[in-house]
């Protein structure tokens, strides 16, 4: 629904009606809803890693101790397998 609103709004701008949705977003400097969600997820994981979030990093991720494939840093995370008993619900 939010994407539809953004889609309609960008058509209201002068000289934008004939362009495709992707061209309108690019010329206006906007992101799609999926890109905004991905960015917010990355920001939230960063906050969890630094301790700024109320959710502990260990509840959702494990720090990968395997030094291969991290290109010299120790910030590689592995997703913890989630089951119904240990699932977290965010509202």
Domain ranges for the chain:
1-30, 33-91
The verdict on pTM exceeding 0.85 is no
A 10 A CB-CB count for 24 gives 20
Q: What is the pLDDT of residues 39-52, one digit of tens each?
A: 999 999 999 888 89
Closest of 31, 44, 43 to residue 3, by C-alpha: 31
The strand pair at 77-79 and 61-63 is best described as antiparallel
Specify whether the CB–CB gap between 64 and 49 falls below 8 A. Answer: no
Q: What is the pLDDT of residues 29-82, one digit of tens each?
A: 988 888 999 999 999 999 988 889 888 888 888 877 776 666 667 677 878 776
The Cα-based distances of 11 to 5, 33, 67 in angstroms read 10, 17, 49
């Amino acid at each position: 629904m939010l994407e539809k609103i953004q889609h309609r709004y960008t058509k209201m701008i002068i000289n934008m009606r004939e362009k495709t949705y992707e061209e309108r977003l690019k010329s206006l400097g906007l992101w799609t809803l999926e890109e905004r969600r991905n960015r917010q997820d990355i920001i939230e994981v960063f906050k969890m890693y630094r301790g700024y979030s109320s959710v502990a990093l260990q509840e959702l991720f494990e720090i990968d101790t395997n030094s291969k494939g991290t290109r010299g840093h120790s910030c590689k995370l592995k997703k913890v397998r989630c089951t119904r008993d240990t699932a977290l619900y965010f509202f």
